[in-house]
Homo-oligomer: A and B are copies of this chain.
Amino acid sequence: MPAVAPHDRRPARVEDTVGTAQLTAVPEPKYWHLRSVLLRAIDSEFSTGQVIPNERDLAARFGVARATLRQALDQLELEGRLVRRRGIGTLVAAPRVGVPVSRREEGWPGGTREQVWQNIDCTSAPASEQLAKALGIQAGETVHTVRRVRVTQGQTVATESLHVPDATVAQVPAIRLSGAAAEGDDQARSLMRRLERLTVDGESRAVELGVAEAEEAALLQRPPGTPVLVVTTQYASAGRLAALGVSTYRADTCRLTFGETGLVEVTPVAAATPTATRTA
């Protein structure tokens, strides 16, 4: 990687590269230019999992302050191209994992399948005003909430809270599991069994960007503030809203896939953020 004279505070202009001065140029920020250089470097000279030089060395090599270099690394980390590990170093990230999002993978109601979701616990409480509004019920009505995580290739990629109004499962008889234990995981399993007896006639989803708060971040094994893709799913049964799922997927490692399991592998094209692909 090229070096730059230190203490050069001129904003980088495209004329620096082109000889002829086109005065139209925009003063590209240093960190953005660094990002491009580093991106080319990790694409060509490094491979997945490899450790790149440490921040102090890189900053010195490019003749910038460490903070500036970090701004470039921040971008590349947001794009899922780098992973930074405290005490270890900065690694070239693996391509994002394609994660199918559909009712089937929810393990509900089409049978449990290969256990993509792992229950953590199950709580029952009166609905907060906000939750009640989202579920279309009265505040205070009982809602069961299953908390679970999605594990792919040994890594936790998502957490989910599945909110089920008691009214949804009231008619379905409770299910006795082996022991009489009311332990979290069993409660969750029991609730899911009851849900499987419902006929779900549709679902609609919304996806947006969010950040993981403390608890969620811990489950995802990431620091707080980690960007996540928040998927909100409404499950309809008999024309009514039967349940609401709120899932948060790690944005750095996941590509969410929808629909009829495409014909060809979904390979992103060089728009915005180019990436290679892999399917879970």
Query: Is the pair A260, B202 in contact by a Cβ cutoff of 8 Å?
Result: yes
Of chain B, the residue at the smallest CB distance from A264 is B136
Identify which of A5-13, A168-176, A225-233 touches chain B. A225-233
**Which chain B residues border A209 with CB–CB below 8 Å?**
78-80, 209, 227, 229, 251-252, 273
Complex Cα spacing A236 to B264, Å = 10
Of chain B, the residue at the smallest CB distance from A230 is B272
Q: Which residues in window 206-239 of A have CB below 8 A to B?
A: 206-213, 216, 224-225, 227-230, 232, 234, 236, 239
**Which chain B residues border A224 with CB–CB below 8 Å?**
32
Choose from B130, B216, B239 the contact partner of A269 (Cβ within 8 Å): B130
Identify which of A17-25, A108-116, A180-188, A240-248 touches chain B. A240-248
Query: Is the pair B259, A205 in contact by a Cβ cutoff of 8 Å?
Result: yes
Complex Cα spacing A266 to B230, Å = 12
**Which chain B residues border A248 with CB–CB below 8 Å?**
271-272
**Which chain B residues border A130 with CB–CB below 8 Å?**
267, 269-270, 274
**Which chain B residues border A261 with CB–CB below 8 Å?**
204
Query: Is the pair B208, A256 in contact by a Cβ cutoff of 8 Å?
Result: yes
Q: How far is the CB of A67 from chain B (nearest CB, A)?
A: 8
**Which chain B residues border A266 with CB–CB below 8 Å?**
204, 206, 232, 234
User: Sorted from nearest, which 4 A-B pairs have the closest CB atoms?
Assistant: A210-B273, A204-B259, A204-B262, A210-B272
Q: 11 A-B residue contacts at CB 8 Å?
A: A32-B224, A75-B225, A79-B210, A163-B269, A202-B259, A203-B260, A206-B268, A208-B256, A213-B272, A240-B263, A241-B263
